[in-house]
Structure 1
Amino acid sequence: MAGLYRRALPSPPAIEFASPEGKQLFTEALGEGTMEGFFKLISYYQTQSEPAYCGLATLAVILNALAIDPGRTWKGPWRWFDDTMLDCCKPLSKIKAEGITFGKVACLAYCNGAKVEAFRTNESSIDDFRRHVISCASSEDCHVISSYHRGVFKQTGSGHFSPIGGYHARKDLVLILDVARFKYPPHWVPLALLWEAMDTIDKATGHPRGFMIISRFHKAPSVLYTVSCRHEGWSKVAKYLTEDVPHRLKMNDVKDVENLLSLVFKSAPVDLKEFIKWVAEVRRQDVAGVSSSEEEKARLIIKEEVLKQIKETEIFEHINRWLGSEISVCQGYKQTLPEIAANVCCQGAQLLAGQLSSLDETCCKETNVVLVQAGGVSPMTLVSGKITTNGVEQGIDMLVPSSQTEPRNILCDFDRSNCKGMHPSTADVLTVILLALPQHTWSGIKEEKLLTQLNRCVSIENIPSLLQQEVLHLRRQLHFLMIDLHEPSASG
């Protein structure tokens, strides 16, 4: 018959979980208290839906086990993580063809509301790994993802991701809940051998594999901004901001902040405007008129406060002045109000469809933008539109936090009569980008006085905690994206 039905699990070194020996190991480990995390994981354990989706399926299992709300629907009214929903860091079509790298899995976990500690083997030790495994195996509050090479276990295939379901202390064994259940069942392996399998080089990135500790944030890591890395040019933008900008500062004599802004933004890749994405409140259109839930109102108030705090920063004043000056060239950031509204409408279509994927089957039309007063909340921007997804038409509304920047200082060539109050403004987004860059970005500035001034402008130590959380969220995302940036392809 064509095709393959499972593989024989090479044993040794692995011990099948359902074998008599595997059952005995489970019983002993349970008595030792190092199987506490197992029960949550096994409750949400799933098989990867594509051969290259091991990283996505592993993450979906853990996000569901941690009871993290995805904030978007899976099917029908149900909010649930499925591996086909985890595409905000890389399109599913590419993951299906190429697999996914260590850094992208970490970024995906972080983007979807999890707290992530990622360690390649050259950044940790086998003793630290064992300590983390024991800690998570003894708790329901965290779980371990292992990225390893199957060949070390005499298994077919190469790079693979799976969650660790438990630990047997006396025999130093870990339980791998293999998400490729069509191939191999869950199995016990020696922890030292798993470390050896992780301590292999991923040819896609040139870096060693490793492990991640995934747990819950006590609150959402971001309310307004997130890094968008689904577009083709994201890697060029990330490299430009973190590598090219510091090099340019070393090679040029920058005299003042406005001169620095010109150096940074006039030469930036065209995709810079797509790199930081703002998140609005999305809902299906209410035919009875504009109405907001208390939850929506509360989030809008927080978003408004973040925007207010951005505008109170010193670097925002410089950026706003630069954008409004004659020497600024805004073509890289030029967008008309209808274009922004259409993008907002499409974002809403994606969220209501339960995914953040490409909109090949979705059409946005009849976009409308108005300022409204709802339920005692300060005036807000309402973007309404009609979307057609797979032949089904529906109306959507998106409640958008308002920017108080004057029209002359918002995106160049706006429809000046209609754009006041519309978010985002260029100054808002560029401010957040500069705040999110690591401090060492500016170390190449030769003028000591300017370096001191800029470090003060972009320091987050003294900014309000709400804005500080947004900036740290973006920094963390950028960090995960950069750790394996130069990948020609990826491991499955």
Structure 2
Amino acid sequence: MAAAVASLYRRVLPSPPAVDFASPEGKRLFSEALAAGTMEGFFPLVSCFQTQSEPAFCGLASLAVVLNALAIDPGRRWKGPWRWFDESMLDCCEPLDKVKDQGITFGKVACLAHCSGADVQSFRANRVTIHDLRRHLLRCVSSQDCHLIASYHRQVFKQTGTGHFSPIGGYHAGQDMALILDVARFKYPPHWVPVQLLWEAMNTTDDSTGLLRGFMLISRQNTAPSSLYTVSCRDGNWRSMAKYCVEDLPKLLKAQNLDNVPALLSCLIESLPADAEALIKWVVEVRRKEEGGLSLSKEEKERLFLKENVLQQVRNTRLFTIVHDQQYAKNPCCNCSSSSQEDALNRIAAAVCCQGAAMLSGNLSPRDSFCCRETCLKCVQANGDGLKTVISASVVSEGNEQGVDMILPMSSPGATSCNSNSKNNVIKYPSSVDVLTVLLLALHPSTWSGIKDEELKAELEALVSTDNLPDDLKREILHLRRQLYYLKACKEEEHEDDETPSSKQQC
């Protein structure tokens, strides 16, 4: 029989060095900092403040508080009809069960913030100084559009525990003290600490990674979110693709004696990892049947129009034509039958609706299983813009049945996957040709520097250049390129993190 563990009701905050936020001294510091204008970030944070739900969820709770304080829309439901960041939704970079057991690393929290739609700047203590910390801290606490999450060791403050994450809610310049909004509210209250000690607590090594702790700045993205494509690191698919895009492909191009674009694309297509298309996922529009009639709302119409516009712009590129012809050469139309086309549509419809059911449930865990009982295509009236195609299904998960509608951009009821050699007749939703074209455009320009044939390199660089792309598509491509670059950085950090089996960031 396991030994009983004594229960605890909070801890006594060691003071000094900390000052309890609710104490007379803490109130004085707050009042003076408020008058000085260095408590602006406090109010949105405290409006969304929460206690971490698990002893090892300090990183997830800190990030959820900050994302909600920045009013970033998660794009998927939490509970009921509400879209709201919760710890349970922050699972794309590390499984929740693993975080619950082992905690989470500094790099994974930064990656989670990025995948959740935030702009992230992370600073390990060996790459900045205490003066940099004060400068960034002052910027965050003096505004409401950027927040600082600290990763530090509790024992520097004479507190129990080891590695911990919490947002910083304010700064008193006169006494050089920062306000830690401790997400472990069951243990310690919010408290003021000297910035010098906070820096020393950050400048400690996480034994699980061998890397120093630090701080990160989280803010809203300046650019609009992707309208059609996005990069996802869920399910680990991004690991192989990030390595392929950043390391393997440039080496492959250097090693091959290629002299024409079709040969180069054929080599590239054949070398793609098996899960390549899973990296760039179609951002579908999801509607529950009970949320209204068959007419699209103004907001849905605008989003759908933008999706259609971007997809058509992809197909208007010369690169798409070449990629399409490469794919068509391998899968000529005579090999396709109407029945196989119908089966393919049904499989796609079922997969899309299962994804939609997961989004509606607010749980995209790969462990969850969804089954489509019914799948069909139908049309809805887009408030004067004509008919739009919608995939409709009854989805069953854990015995519960749910009706899901998925709006298809560029859809037509009679679309087929094989028709003619014309790019205008390919199936009317993001296909493998669309995805591959976008991936080629999103690769960093330096990818092609290893091509030996100078004429081929110049031709390829012209094909994948973003200079002459329409504005909407150009924004989409640059958005994906930034995401790929960030996933590369996450991959490098994860490689370092994986050198040791456990990753303890406990309270």
- What TM-score do the two structures reach when normalised by structure 1? 0.88
Give the 3 Å change call, closer, same or farther, for CA 406–211 of structure 1 in structure 2.
Answer: farther
Equivalence for 1:414:
none
Task: Provide the rounded CA distance (Å) in 2 between the counterparts of 1:364 and 1:406.
Answer: 22
Q: Which shifted more, 59-68 or 246-255?
A: 246-255
Give the 3 Å change call, closer, same or farther, for CA 253–187 of structure 1 in structure 2.
Answer: farther
Deviation at 1:292, TM superposition (A): 1.4
Equivalence for 1:281:
285
* 1:59-458 alignment runs, 5 A limit: 59-202=63-206, 207-217=211-221, 220-285=224-289, 290-326=294-330, 336-358=344-366, 360=368, 362-370=370-378, 374-377=382-385, 379-402=387-410, 407-408=417-418, 421-458=427-464
- In the alignment, is the contact (CA less than 8 A) between 1:403 and 1:424 conserved in 2? no
Task: Provide the rounded CA distance (Å) in 2 between the counterparts of 1:16 and 1:378.
Answer: 62
Deviation at 1:359, TM superposition (A): 5.5
Equivalence for 1:331:
none
* Residue among 477, 480, 483 paired with 1:474: 480
Deviation at 1:151, TM superposition (A): 4.1
Deviation at 1:219, TM superposition (A): 6.3
Matched AA of 2:403: G
Give the 3 Å change call, closer, same or farther, for CA 449–190 of structure 1 in structure 2.
Answer: farther
Matched AA of 2:48: Y
Deviation at 1:41, TM superposition (A): 0.8
* Residue among 33, 49, 62 paired with 1:58: 62
* 1:13-52 alignment runs, 5 A limit: 13-52=17-56
Runs of 4+ in 1 over 6 A off after TM superposition: 403-406
Give the 3 Å change call, closer, same or farther, for CA 271–102 of structure 1 in structure 2.
Answer: farther
Look up the SS of the partner of 2:17 in the other structure.
coil
- In the alignment, is the contact (CA less than 8 A) between 1:102 and 1:484 conserved in 2? no
Give the 3 Å change call, closer, same or farther, for CA 484–88 of structure 1 in structure 2.
Answer: closer
- In the alignment, is the contact (CA less than 8 A) between 1:144 and 1:164 conserved in 2? yes
Task: Provide the rounded CA distance (Å) in 2 between the counterparts of 1:86 and 1:193.
Answer: 30
Deviation at 1:287, TM superposition (A): 9.9
- In the alignment, is the contact (CA less than 8 A) between 1:107 and 1:477 conserved in 2? no
Look up the SS of the partner of 2:182 in the other structure.
coil
Structure 1 segments unaligned to the other structure (5+ residues): 329-333, 411-418
- In the alignment, is the contact (CA less than 8 A) between 1:110 and 1:116 conserved in 2? yes
Task: Provide the rounded CA distance (Å) in 2 between the counterparts of 1:216 and 1:407.
Answer: 39
- What TM-score do the two structures reach when normalised by structure 2? 0.85
Task: Provide the rounded CA distance (Å) in 2 between the counterparts of 1:409 and 1:102.
Answer: 50
Task: Provide the rounded CA distance (Å) in 1 between the counterparts of 2:207 and 2:467.
Answer: 39
Matched AA of 2:483: Q
Does 1:465 find its partner at 2:475?
no
Task: Provide the rounded CA distance (Å) in 2 between the counterparts of 1:461 and 1:196.
Answer: 47
Deviation at 1:286, TM superposition (A): 5.3
Task: Provide the rounded CA distance (Å) in 1 between the counterparts of 2:297 and 2:291.
Answer: 15
Deviation at 1:277, TM superposition (A): 0.8
Q: Which shifted more, 308-317 or 272-281?
A: 308-317
Does 1:7 find its partner at 2:7?
no
